[in-house]
Structure 1
Amino acid sequence: MIALGLEGSANKLGVGLISHPDLPKRGPAIILANIRHTFVSPPGEGFLPKDTAKHHRTWVVRLVSEALKEACITIDSVDCICYTKGPGMGAPLQSVALAARMLAELWGKEIVGVNHCVGHIEMGREITGAEDPVVLYVSGGNTQVIAYASQRYRIFGETLDIAVGNCLDRFARTLRISNDPAPGYNIEQMAKTGKHLLDLPYAVKGMDCSFSGILASVDILAEKLEQNPTGWLDEVTGELITREDLCFSLQETVFAMLVEITERAMAHVGSSQVLIVGGVGCNERLQEMMGMMARDRGGSVYATDERFCIDNGIMIAHAGLLAYGTGQTTKFEDTSCTQRYRTDEVLVKWRE
């Protein structure tokens, strides 16, 4: 079986083609194509839903054609069209849903609506080989600690306000850091040369996190750079505090919070594996900190690179084809999208 997947829940439009020769059995998947195009806004600005939706509508036909060409297949070989049903930004999601309906009608194919979060999880499991891990899902729009039980991905903890990726992206806007290739990636590179760890709020509440207070605090510190772009002298230590120190301090604080709630979930379910998925999961420092915690517990960390961590079409094709192999499809009249589609709403029929 072959599925075509369309992802466009935020500023990245992805088209993927994947084959599962052994469905309904769970055998290894074959990635045929994985193409992505990103809408990049100017420094200091975020991406507006209407502009992002226009970008997706402009590029979707071109990317589908390129994916079919790269995979060396025709439309006759495709069994189903999979698209991101949610969660995500409303206007971009609608553009992708419209494209999926168009292709399904033109080609006479079944449609499968996919939960964006489940797509990340299943792609991570497929690429890394993690069997039954605690999942840390971290992206621009989501922050959740998840574990599987009884055909559902259960949420053990999550953000109480903004996502960790959104926290990093908004601070990049404060510093007017470039959005190319991604604001979080550029913060990560700047943090590597930071030397001074500043005291920022640490907000862990049970299994949940809060990031808005940390963002507000570091934004106040960043205001000092308006008068002193090169940095300012710390009143206590007399050391020069720079933009890089702010990025370093923000990263270290929010990642320490994520490590804490992940370790608590591991202890609760008795797991020794951690799988990091989502765009922030590419961050090498987060992987390093999580690895230190996991090794202390005799466990291991699984993560992927930017091809599969960052939003992509292949993860939607993969999760959609797993569902399709168990007889799950989406009726044409139900091919809508929703900005609030909880991870634990999905019936995971392909897992025992």
Structure 2
Amino acid sequence: MIALGIEGTAHTLGVGVVTEDRVLANVFHTLTTDRGGIHPKEAAEHHARLMRPLLKKALETSGIGMKDVDLIAFSQGPGLGPALRVVATAARALSIKYRKPIVGVNHCIAHVEITKMFGVRDPVGLYVSGGNTQVLALEGGRYRVFGETLDIGIGNAIDTFARELGIGFPGGPRIEKLAREGKKYIELPYAVKGMDLSFSGILTEAVRKYRSGRYRVEDLAYSFQETAFAALVEVTERALAHTGKDEVVLVGGVAANNRLREMLSIMAEDRGVDFFVPPYDLCRDNGAMIAYTGLRMYLGGVRFRIEDTRVRQKFRTDEVEVTWG
């Protein structure tokens, strides 16, 4: 079967085409700004403007036409309401026009599910992005959230700090570059509460220290990463110990950070478990992961009516019953 997936939960619009074991196309475009963050209305306008050209490009790249597509999948949530509605409307239109079945996909689950295309079986997933920070694992027929942020996602925390420094959005690559030049660790709040995390305290204190003018920006970036990433690794390791699983995957946009990869890899080696990070175009928000997850859901018996495809801005990961293998 061939599935076409559309992703558009936040600043990235992506269209992917996949089979059960191969990505045929994975094209995307991200809305960026020099100052400030992403406004939901701007994201929706961006997605609406680029939907047709990206769909065309994905089909051309995969060498197929809509007649060859067997399934339409779309990101149903969680995410920005206006952006989600653009994607859902496009997916419904394609489903109705070409008489193809449609499936709504949980964005967070899709980030972990795409790793199974590469032979991963049953992992603990550390999902780190702008709006989401979760430690996930499949238990009892659902993806359980073993730990998550209590306030802001790690990606948003990094981006907000970058904006305070005046280095624009997205801030992750720029903060990582600064951190490589850091020479001194500066103590910042370390907030692990049970299995959950908090990043508002570290952000507030890093900004306060920056505004004081007493610290090198490079040292602050280095300290921010070391502190926040250590908390992420701690919670992930505890989830591995609790579940007894022998695989851990790192997914989401922040998975591009080489220091976070290194820290998780060291932890995994110490515990004797396998560690995997997908290619970056499948870590970031993308249509291929939506298509692949939708295909797995459909093959596992999941069916949607058009009236079931309303968007869900606060779509919890653990609401989804996993009926597919």
* Residue of structure 2 equivalent to 1:48: 39
1:38 to 10, 30, 44: 30
Q: How many residues align?
A: 325
* Residue of structure 2 equivalent to 1:66: 57
* Residue of structure 2 equivalent to 1:265: 239
* Residue of structure 2 equivalent to 1:154: 144
Q: CA deviation at 1:299?
A: 2.0
Structure 1 segment 96-111 matched on structure 2, within 5 A: 96-111=87-102
Name the CA distance, whole Å, in 2 between partners of 1:290 and 1:30.
27
* Residue of structure 1 equivalent to 2:15: 15
Is residue 161–residue 210 contact of structure 1 (8 Å, CA) maintained in 2?
Answer: yes
Is residue 73–residue 103 contact of structure 2 (8 Å, CA) maintained in 1?
Answer: yes
Deviations along 1:207-261, whole A, 9 cap, x unmatched?
1111111111111112134xxxxxx3xxxxxxxx321111111110000000111
Q: CA deviation at 1:271?
A: 2.2
What SS does the aligned partner of 1:162 have? Answer: coil
1:202 to 190, 195, 201: 190
Q: CA deviation at 1:124?
A: 2.0
Is residue 75–residue 107 contact of structure 2 (8 Å, CA) maintained in 1?
Answer: yes
* Residue of structure 2 equivalent to 1:26: none
How many percent of aligned residue pairs carry the same amino acid? 50
Name the CA distance, whole Å, in 2 between partners of 1:299 and 1:137.
18
Name the CA distance, whole Å, in 1 between partners of 2:261 and 2:246.
15
1:177 aligns with 2:177: no
Q: CA deviation at 1:328?
A: 1.3
* Residue of structure 2 equivalent to 1:213: 201
Structure 2 counterpart of 1:10, one-letter code:
A
* Residue of structure 2 equivalent to 1:341: 315
Q: TM-score, normalised by structure 2?
A: 0.97
Is residue 152–residue 347 contact of structure 1 (8 Å, CA) maintained in 2?
Answer: yes
More off after superposition, 309-318 vs 155-164: 155-164
Structure 2 counterpart of 1:266, one-letter code:
L
1:91 aligns with 2:82: yes
Structure 1 segment 207-286 matched on structure 2, within 5 A: 207-225=195-213, 232=214, 241-286=215-260
What SS does the aligned partner of 2:183 have? Answer: coil
What SS does the aligned partner of 2:224 have? Answer: helix
Q: Looking at CA atoms only, which structure, 1 or 2, has the larger radius of gyration?
A: 1
2:156 to 166, 169, 192: 166
Structure 2 counterpart of 1:216, one-letter code:
T
Structure 2 counterpart of 1:63, one-letter code:
L
Deviations along 1:268-314, whole A, 9 cap, x unmatched?
11223211111111211011011111111122311123211100000
Name the CA distance, whole Å, in 2 between partners of 1:305 and 1:212.
30
1:306 aligns with 2:280: yes
Structure 2 counterpart of 1:245, one-letter code:
D
Deviations along 1:53-112, whole A, 9 cap, x unmatched?
000000011100111111111111101110000001111111111111111122121110
Q: CA deviation at 1:325?
A: 1.1
* Residue of structure 2 equivalent to 1:5: 5
Structure 2 counterpart of 1:122, one-letter code:
E
2:289 to 289, 301, 315: 315
Q: TM-score, normalised by structure 1?
A: 0.90
What SS does the aligned partner of 2:296 have? Answer: helix
Q: CA deviation at 1:176?
A: 1.5
Name the CA distance, whole Å, in 1 between partners of 2:183 and 2:80.
36
What SS does the aligned partner of 1:311 have? Answer: coil
Name the CA distance, whole Å, in 1 between partners of 2:167 and 2:116.
33
Q: Which runs of 5+ in 1 are unaligned?
A: 21-28, 226-231, 233-240
Q: CA deviation at 1:327?
A: 2.6
